[in-house]
C-alpha cells in the first residue's frame, strides 16, 4: 500500500505506539519541532506489543499506518515503539514508500561509547530483545562492551495502567525486580555503569528509575536522537513546516478508551492540551 498523495509540508507527522509509551518520544519531537503538526495514535486496544509475536505486531503496525495515511494524510511516520520498529520498520518502508518512516531502537552504540566499566545493561521488552533486528544490532557491537539483557516482563503494561496508587506501587516493584535481576550497578570492574531504557514506556517514569539507580549508573533514552533524525529526514525532503506557522495541538487518536489516553497526556505532557 502506498500513500494516496505525495507528502506535503503542512501535513501532520504521524506518531504511534502500542499505547502511551510513545508520549516520551512525542515530548522530544514537540521540543525539537515546535511548529510541526502531529497525529498521535495509541493502539491501546491491542497493547502491549512487547509480549506479542512479530507477525501480530507487524500486522498492527500496517493497520495503524494505513489509517494515518488514508484518514490524516501524514507526511511522515515516527514509530515510537522499539518492538514495532524491530518487527515492522522494513516492511512499512517497503509497502508505504516514499513516505519517510523513522524508527527507534535501544541506544546500544551510545551506551558502549559512554561506558567506562565496559558493562551496559539493556532493559527492554521480551519482543525487542528477541527480535532479529536487535540481535543484529548487538552483533554489530561485538567487543565494544558486554551487554547485560533484561526482559522487563509486565513493566510496560504496569506503566500503561499507572493511574491507581496500587499500580504505581506495582511499577516501582517491577523496576526493583528487573534491576536486581540485571546485576550490580557501579563503576568498578565488572559492574554495570550504563543503562539503556529500551522501551518508550520506561522514560515516562524516569524519576522512579533515578530514585533506584541513584548515581550508580547513567540512564540513556534515545527519544531526543529520534527527534533530531526526524528533523533531518524532513529537511532533506523539503517537508519541514514553515517556521512562521503557529504551533498546533496534536491530534489524539486511539483504538482503545479515549479517557485513558487523555489521562496519560495530562500526566506526562502537561503543557499540551488534552483530548
Q: Are the folds of 13-104+223-268 and 108-220 the same?
A: yes
Return the closest-CA partner of residue 122 out of 101, 106, 137: 106
* Nearest-angstrom CA–CA distance, 188 and 184: 10
Q: Which CATH architecture has domain 13-104+223-268?
A: 3-Layer(aba) Sandwich (3.40)
How far lies 207's CA from each of 16, 171, 211, in Å?
24, 12, 6
pLDDT in tens, 121-174: 999 999 999 999 999 999 999 999 999 999 999 999 899 887 655 667 899 999
Extents of the domains making up the chain: 13-104+223-268, 108-220
pLDDT in tens, 5-49: 567 899 999 999 999 999 999 999 999 999 999 999 999 999 888
- pLDDT number for residue 50: 82
CATH class of domain segment(s) 108-220 = alpha beta
- Please check the confidence at residue 112 and state whether its pLDDT lies above 80: yes
* Nearest-angstrom CA–CA distance, 61 and 55: 10
Residues with a known catalytic role: 81, 199
pLDDT in tens, 52-107: 889 999 999 999 999 999 999 999 999 999 999 999 999 999 999 999 999 999 99
Total-model pTM: 0.92
pLDDT in tens, 187-246: 999 999 999 999 999 999 999 999 999 999 999 999 999 999 999 999 999 999 988 888
How far lies 186's CA from each of 36, 120, 217, 242, in Å?
41, 11, 6, 47
Amino acid at each position: 500500500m502506498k500513500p494516496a498523495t505525495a507528502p506535503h509540508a503542512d501535513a501532520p507527522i504521524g506518531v504511534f505506539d502500542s499505547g502511551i509509551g510513545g508520549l516520551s518520544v512525542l515530548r522530544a519531537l514537540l521540543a525539537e519541532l515546535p511548529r510541526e503538526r502531529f497525529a498521535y495514535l495509541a493502539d491501546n486496544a491491542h497493547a502491549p506489543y512487547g509480549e506479542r509475536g512479530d507477525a501480530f505486531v507487524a500486522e498492527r503496525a500496517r493497520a495503524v499506518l494505513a489509517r494515518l495515511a488514508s484518514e490524516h494524510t501524514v507526511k511522515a511516520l515516527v514509530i515510537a515503539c522499539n518492538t514495532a520498529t524491530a518487527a515492522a520498520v522494513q516492511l512499512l518502508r517497503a509497502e508505504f514508500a516514499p513516505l519517510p518512516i523513522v524508527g527507534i531502537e535501544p541506544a546500544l552504540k551510545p551506551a558502549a561509547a559512554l561506558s567506562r566499566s565496559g558493562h551496559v545493561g539493556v532493559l527492554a521488552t521480551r519482543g525487542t530483545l528477541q527480535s532479529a533486528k536487535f540481535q543484529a544490532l548487538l552483533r554489530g557491537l561485538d567487543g565494544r562492551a558486554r551487554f547485560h539483557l533484561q526482559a522487563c516482563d509486565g513493566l510496560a503494561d504496569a506503566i500503561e495502567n499507572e493511574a491507581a496508587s496500587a499500580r504505581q506501587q506495582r511499577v516501582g516493584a517491577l523496576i526493583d525486580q528487573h534491576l536486581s535481576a540485571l546485576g550490580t550497578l557501579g563503576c568498578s570492574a565488572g559492574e554495570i555503569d550504563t543503562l539503556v531504557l529500551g522501551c518508550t514506556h520506561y522514560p515516562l517514569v524516569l524519576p522512579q528509575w533515578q530514585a533506584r539507580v541513584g548515581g550508580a549508573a547513567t540512564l540513556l533514552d534515545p527519544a531526543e536522537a529520534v527527534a533530531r533524525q526526524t528533523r533531518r529526514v524532513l529537511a532533506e525532503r523539503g517537508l519541514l513546516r514553515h517556521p512562521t506557522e503557529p504551533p498546533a495541538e496534536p491530534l489524539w487518536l486511539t483504538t482503545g478508551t479515549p479517557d485513558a489516553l487523555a489521562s496519560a497526556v495530562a500526566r506526562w505532557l502537561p503543557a499540551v492540551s488534552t483530548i
